[in-house]
A and B are shown apart, each in its own frame.
Chain A
Amino acid sequence: MNAHLSPAALADETLRELMREVELGGPALPVRAVKIDRRHFLKLTGMAGGGLTLGFFVGSDARAAGEKGAADFSPNAFLRISSKGSILIYNKGPEIGQGIKTAFPLIIAEELDALWTDVVVEQAPVNPVVYGRQSAGGSRSIPDSWDQLRKAGAVARSMLLSAAAASWKVPVEECSTRDSAVWHGKRKLTYGALAAKAAALPVPDAAKVKLKERSEYRLLGKWYTGVDNRKVVTGAPLFGIDQQLPGLKFAVYEKCPATGGKVRTANLDELKKLPGVRDAFVVEGNGKPTELMPGVAIVADSTWAAFEARKQLRVEWDESAASKDSWSALTKRAAELSKQAAGDTTTVSVGTVADALKGAAKTVEGFYTYPFVSHAPLEPQNCTAWNHDGIIEFWSPTQTADRALTTLAGALGMPVEKIKINQTRVGGGFGRRLMNDYACEAGAIAQRFAGPVKLMWTREQDMAHDFYRPGGFHSLTGGVDATGKLVAWRNHFISFTTDGKNPVSGGNMPGEEFPAQNVPNYLLSQTLLPLATPCGPWRAPRSCSVAWVIQSFLHELSAAAHRDHRDFLLEVMGEPRLLPGGLNTARAADVIKLVSEKAGWGRKLPAGHGMGLAFHFSHAGHFAEVAEVSVDADKRIKLHRMVVVGDIGPIVNMSGANNQCEGGVLDGFSTMLGLEITMENGRVEQSNFHQYPILRIADQPKVEVHFIQSDNPPTGVGEPALPPVAPAICNAIYAAIGHRVRTLPLTKEGFSAG
């Protein structure tokens, strides 16, 4: 750890590492840390009981059956087929509302040729050595696990085929599989009947098993309801907050409202006398916001007793090294800087922008501002920890169960083998739970307090101690030639830095960001303002904010040139090609064309109504969206309809994919309309939903989703539908009333939902 870095800078350092891993689809971190022998492995996976064992997924000589000759068939850690025919599939990834607990097992079941109705899904133990990546971020779950899961199913299918062929004494090539059975002509053997026999066979090399072509899919691409829906609608315990243990106590943890403040004194003795309070103590922490910041822990007999005791807590904070950030001062400084055509450093320069702007038939200038926002998942941060038998066991609603192992071990000063994590369902991620700070806090409390403890954050704490989507500023000048073609684009991007060098997490603009490679003359420069507020990835990091700027400004230019925006956008995409960074202009053009068609682009609308089109490529997904809005004389805005067209390759679960897009639209709309985090004197000014008004049902637009399914490898859908939402809406507002929105949220410019 670098002692000179502020807490926010330490968070950025960690998050840069995390984001690199996410973007590279890199290996789960704990692999290097977890050293386990075979027995330990079995213990960790929790499947050692009942004479069962399981083969390693990697490695060809492992045998499926246990030493005791189990009747069940568990060729790998992902699935187990009982002799009665039930197929248990383990979901390795965190379910955060993205539907992975349904999608992952579907992929395995597809290659297994199982009947979906035979499948039972359980959450896998946290063990990255066995399961590989066990995190949810960057819309990487599907692309990173696609081959692994397909092979898990295909390996098992291959063994079942071999077992059946041997039973019938026929060549395996004559046998086929469907509906949880192996078939030879009209005779069949169910997977259940074959389980014991298959379990005795060697596990084939996963690299050599044949995987299905898309045309052979029986399950994927159809409409499936979530595997835990029944539990959700009956209120069964699922979430982190729902964990119950005998003798469970309840804790709160108070940190300085300005990041970086330390506890000088606290009225611990008074707190300990309060009804229901078991203990109160100071935790020094390690100064890392992603792990353990200094604070005061209170443990009580109930959540309410802990909350009530917190109200009596008096802390004198040492704020000498704490954040003094002021959003009003930062916006003022950015407005001054915006007058400079270029920033401190040049990120990328193509052609000669200054000359091109001089020679342009028309130029347009715009200064765009967007605010910090909070993740605000509906389940406030919480974690249950229990120090027992030499280990600390966690029940944690985390997005990064794999990484949490090493984070907790490091923060708590324990060997990683002594950390056990149980993955619970997660009441909303949006990027917030990529960080495991709340688990570190629970762990620190468990190190001091005997017996299981559930740490519960209040909503106010959740909003005050986030890793915020950073705000930002873009001072833009663009030019079109006499034919209305885009010829120049200059962006002075003003963002933030916590270490004086690197942009904050989610506040960066890489050189290849659109339209760098689509304009003959392009200049991107940046100035970084000092910041001490922790930032972090928020649903579609970077894209969630910059897409609004880029796609709005493109529309400013097409409007100035009196061009149809669809034609203009297609022209900017240019020739079909794959650009560095992953944007495929052919796929982009296809989604732009289809969304225009589905939305009825260009049709006549009533006065006060407008349509707006926007495209964005992020997280390997190509998405184009058309918004239809109306705006009245009082600037009350109604979003009537949003048409979404995405290309993310083949769809795994059509219901889940649609749901992510529907949610992305509402999240995008909600955020651009009225959400804003501001800070003064290092303190966040918003505390609860009355000051952070997430949209309600009456504001839900009609959302229509279409996918262009292709043979491209499947990619994720939790994020890429969100970025085009805000620019599509702002472009529609311009079409409706001729007002160009350059500051978000919309409420800053006098708009409201209506």
Chain B
Amino acid sequence: MPTLSLRVNGKDQATDVDPNTPLLWVLRDSLGLVGTKFGCGMSLCGACTVLADGEPIRACSTPVSTMAGKNITTIEGLATSPTQLHPLQEAWIEHDVPQCGYCQAGQLMSASALLARTPQPTDADIDTAMAGNLCRCGTYQRIRAAIHSAAGKLAKRKA
């Protein structure tokens, strides 16, 4: 099988899988980055959301071959550094968002793409940007509050 090179969280990675393999399983099974989750396999739940060149994509339905040359960011690469979490991650902890926590990596990745584009999102912006991410436990109220709170933190960091 041909070797594919990927750039994940700023690191170049080589993998020799079937080019049709969804990015999700390359991340999880080949690269050991298990933070990105499998939920539906049909781009319906958003648990597998990662960023490709900053855009949120569903890794469960994205053939790895289409990712060559793109910068992929997973939940493991969301924090600025091991000591400084992304403001969204801080807000998620402070608002005690997670219940089971399984969807939250995907939620955070979608939210990070939103804030990168719209630093001060309205509720409607949040509804649109987060529409692809299911939370079976029903933590949406806290997700919304945490996104607003993270937007405030980001503004402060930039100030």
Type the 1/0 row for B53-93, where 1 means its CB is closer than 8 Å to any CB of A. Answer: 00000000000000000000011101100000100110011
Q: How many residues of A contact B (CB 8 A)?
A: 67
Q: Does B37 contact A (CB under 8 A)?
A: yes
Contact indicator A250/B127 (Cβ below 8 Å): no
Contact indicator A234/B35 (Cβ below 8 Å): yes
Contact indicator A662/B34 (Cβ below 8 Å): no
Q: Does B139 contact A (CB under 8 A)?
A: yes
CB contacts under 8 Å to A, within B92-150, are: 92-94, 96-105, 108, 126-127, 130-131, 133-144
Residues in A with CB closer than 8 Å to B137 are 97, 428, 663, 666-667
Contact indicator A229/B96 (Cβ below 8 Å): yes
B147 to chain A, nearest CB (A): 10
Q: Does A217 contact B (CB under 8 A)?
A: no
- Besides A667-B137, A696-B131, A697-B127, 13 other A-B contacts (C-beta < 8 A): A225-B96, A228-B98, A232-B98, A235-B75, A303-B25, A426-B100, A659-B96, A662-B139, A667-B136, A694-B134, A697-B140, A700-B141, A700-B144
Select B41's contact among A224, A458, A670, beta carbons within 8 Å.
A458
Residues in B with CB closer than 8 Å to A275 are 18
B151 to chain A, nearest CB (A): 16
CA distance A250 to B21 in the complex (A): 15
Residues of chain B at the chain A interface (Cβ within 8 Å): 17-18, 21-22, 25, 28-30, 32-42, 44-45, 47, 74-76, 78-79, 85, 88-89, 92-94, 96-105, 108, 126-127, 130-131, 133-144
CB contacts under 8 Å to B, within A297-317, are: 302-305, 307-308
- Which residue of chain A is the closest to B100 with respect to CB atoms? A97
Stretch at the interface among A164-172, A372-380, A412-420, A470-478: A372-380
Residues in A with CB closer than 8 Å to B131 are 696-698
CA distance A225 to B96 in the complex (A): 5
Residues in B with CB closer than 8 Å to A689 are 40, 42, 44-45, 134
B22 to chain A, nearest CB (A): 6
- Which residue of chain B is the closest to A667 with respect to CB atoms? B138
Q: Chain B interface secondary structure, helix, strand, loop or mixed? A: loop
CA distance A275 to B126 in the complex (A): 43
Residues in A with CB closer than 8 Å to B141 are 662, 700, 702-703
Contact indicator B89/A233 (Cβ below 8 Å): yes
Type the 1/0 row for A198-228, where 1 means its CB is closer than 8 Å to any CB of B. Answer: 0000000000000000000000000111101
Residues in A with CB closer than 8 Å to B99 are 97-99, 659-660, 663
Residues in A with CB closer than 8 Å to B139 are 659, 662-663
Residues in A with CB closer than 8 Å to B108 are 233
CA distance A403 to B41 in the complex (A): 31
CA distance A702 to B123 in the complex (A): 13
Select A459's contact among B28, B42, B143, beta carbons within 8 Å.
B42
CA distance A715 to B49 in the complex (A): 37
CA distance A46 to B140 in the complex (A): 39
- Which residue of chain B is the closest to A429 with respect to CB atoms? B100
Given known pairs A230-B93, A303-B25, A428-B102, the reply for A690 and B126 (CB within 8 Å) is no
CA distance A659 to B47 in the complex (A): 20
Contact indicator A238/B101 (Cβ below 8 Å): yes
Q: List 26 A-B contacts (CB under 8 A).
A: A97-B137, A229-B97, A230-B85, A232-B92, A233-B93, A233-B98, A234-B78, A235-B36, A235-B75, A244-B32, A302-B21, A302-B25, A304-B17, A378-B37, A378-B102, A378-B135, A379-B37, A427-B100, A428-B137, A662-B138, A663-B137, A666-B137, A667-B136, A688-B44, A694-B134, A696-B131
Q: Does A517 contact B (CB under 8 A)?
A: no
Contact indicator B42/A688 (Cβ below 8 Å): yes
CA distance A696 to B74 in the complex (A): 22
Residues in A with CB closer than 8 Å to B88 are 233
- Which residue of chain A is the closest to B79 with respect to CB atoms? A234
CA distance A380 to B38 in the complex (A): 8
CA distance A664 to B28 in the complex (A): 31
CA distance A308 to B140 in the complex (A): 34
Contact indicator B93/A697 (Cβ below 8 Å): no
CB contacts under 8 Å to B, within A400-438, are: 425-430
Select B143's contact among A232, A239, A697, beta carbons within 8 Å.
A697
Contact indicator A304/B136 (Cβ below 8 Å): no
Contact indicator A226/B98 (Cβ below 8 Å): yes
Contact indicator A233/B134 (Cβ below 8 Å): no
Contact indicator B127/A378 (Cβ below 8 Å): no
B3 to chain A, nearest CB (A): 16
Given known pairs A233-B85, A234-B35, A236-B35, the reply for A378 and B96 (CB within 8 Å) is no
B40 to chain A, nearest CB (A): 5
Type the 1/0 row for A441-484, where 1 means its CB is closer than 8 Å to any CB of B. Answer: 00000000000000010110000000000000000000000000
CA distance A98 to B99 in the complex (A): 6
CA distance A308 to B22 in the complex (A): 11
- Which residue of chain B is the closest to A698 with respect to CB atoms? B127
Residues in B with CB closer than 8 Å to A229 are 92-93, 96-98, 101
- Which residue of chain B is the closest to A242 with respect to CB atoms? B34
Residues in B with CB closer than 8 Å to A664 are 138
Residues in A with CB closer than 8 Å to B97 are 229
Residues in B with CB closer than 8 Å to A659 are 96, 99, 139, 142
- Which residue of chain A is the closest to B89 with respect to CB atoms? A233
Given known pairs A233-B93, A427-B100, the reply for A376 and B136 (CB within 8 Å) is yes
- Which residue of B21, B40, B75, B143 has the most chain A CB atoms within 10 A of its CB atom? B40
B110 to chain A, nearest CB (A): 10
CA distance A377 to B138 in the complex (A): 12
CA distance A688 to B33 in the complex (A): 25
Contact indicator B94/A696 (Cβ below 8 Å): no
Contact indicator A666/B138 (Cβ below 8 Å): yes
CA distance A236 to B102 in the complex (A): 11
